[in-house]
Structure 1
């Protein structure tokens, strides 16, 4: 009698086991339409931006020296001598060595072109360009005058910026979120809904464009007439955000 009882117990266990598995699976699997439940909600996708404007506190200026001579060596020697005077003038003006960076150094042959004749070598042109960061804007005009007086004959341009844009970016973020929230409320009211919740919020890269001020190469005599006046004006810091809101009636 013991063997049939064991067989019956084993048979019952198998029946229970096969019956429990479908029940557990039914609980784990999503019900019909549950996977796309989010699409049945009324959602609103919007974008907004915040922008702050403030005075810059640094400037970047590109300047350099261009010299010409009959030979490449003479052109480079003349360029090095004049560039040394320009760098010395910058340092006397309070510009730290770490804020002076060579951006371009070249020497090129120069040719004369005549009709029906092969190009004729006339000499060489050497050019040395540096990018200078000015952290005290009250010295900017004086620095430009001093470098031109020292021999710089190429001034490419000036751009203004912020040494640390963090505070301005955070202020722009707050303005962007306020603008986004106001826009969501407006759309909700216009469509007979109310904002239920913010589903997602994303930010684009903070944008702090440098403010370029184009300049052209000028002879030193032009600067001797009067001190160079530079107006930094204002720069803008912009942050773009986008969000998805769930609406309800």
Structure 2
């Protein structure tokens, strides 16, 4: 009986020893499993170092001529000029940090404490974000994109892309404009390059005046002179003519033109009509 018990203990010890010798091999195999690869993001996959330029909208000036250079060592250089307000070029150097997702950067520095300082990084593009860190939306959204390799900006040269075109009014203060069959003409205006003259029709009366375009996004109209016919079928005439005295910015995209006040929602929207 004692002999059998002794043999049983020997066998149990042998099995335990075999089991323990296999553990290191099992552990080693586990440690050889490769870690999950880090997903691609703007920081790792985009050629982001370089100089980006844009003419950013400005609430109390003609536009902000902006040049931002990002360097590989996560430092930056920025130059900003507030056109129509000051000829001084505000320059700054500092560092920037990436967010945990590797798609946004935050700039440091005194100038950045006065402005929103976050940018979304894309291929050859920087989107200047709003105070909440989100993309700017609305009529001026495209104006908040800085482009890499953009040629030097020359704000003193007017943008002629909206001149010499017949702009038909389609929306006023967010409401569609309906043209009555009894109206003398449809509401529209034309910006003439000669002497910077504007002329048009309110749907009831003809009007004329002058305009000035600057910084590629800013526009100003002089007080308009208009005929004085009375028309019952043009209830929006007063608002339409008043709009020209309020508008100070514009957005031109394809064949649509929006006039706005300091980057707010469009005061009026127009579509280009090509006359034959």
User: Do these two structures clear the TM 0.5 threshold for a shared fold by scoring above it?
Assistant: no
- The normalised TM-score by structure 1 is 0.21
More helix as a share of residues: 1
- The normalised TM-score by structure 2 is 0.20
Q: Which has the higher contact order (CA 8 A, sep 6+)?
A: 1
